Amino acid sequence: MKKRNLPLYNSMKAGDISEDEYAMQRVINIEEFEECDEQLQRYLEQIQDVEKCFSKDNLWIKTFSEMTVPEEITRKHVRAWIERVECVRYEKIEVRFKYEDWKERLPQEWFEED
């Protein structure tokens, strides 16, 4: 921001632009800087999300990677693994596992069987 405002200030001191023009352009520079800063924050949040997705902090990986299915599945197991069960038009039942949104962020070819 200094790189833009210093030449602007020098132009005003040299009499090339008025104080009003300087103030107006300075406000524009500050707004542009704030927009860039907000965009950078969004990118950093996206990077953190991707890093979490491919780490041991991914909730789907944490829940299901080392899971062993017991011989007898109890209500406790079902509650730990399943988010909800939906009946669609009384024709089919869909089971929604917990943390599926985290699984969907991973590359789908990881889940394809040979």
* Residues pairing with 84 in the sheet: 96
Report the C-alpha gap between 7 and 107 in whole angstroms. 49
Q: How confident is the model at residue 45 (pLDDT cuts 50, 70, 90)?
A: very high
Which runs of consecutive H residues, i.e. helices, occur in the chain? 2-14, 19-53, 59-64, 75-81, 100-104
Q: Is the pLDDT of residue 44 over 90?
A: yes
Length reported for the chain: 114
The token pair that represents 70 in the structure block:
């017991």
Q: What is the pLDDT of residue 56?
A: 86
Q: How confident is the model at residue 1 (pLDDT cuts 50, 70, 90)?
A: low
The token pair that represents 49 in the structure block:
């999300």
Which has the higher per-residue pLDDT, 17 or 33?
Answer: 33
Q: What burial class does residue 10 get, using C-beta atoms within 10 Å of its C-beta: 0-12 exposed, 13-18 middle, 19+ buried?
A: exposed
Q: Is the pLDDT of residue 98 over 70?
A: yes
Q: What is the pLDDT of residue 37?
A: 93
User: What percentage of the chain has pLDDT greater than the value 70?
Assistant: 95
Distance of CA 66 to the CA centre of its chain: 26
End-to-end CA distance of the chain: 54
Which has the higher per-residue pLDDT, 83 or 9?
Answer: 83
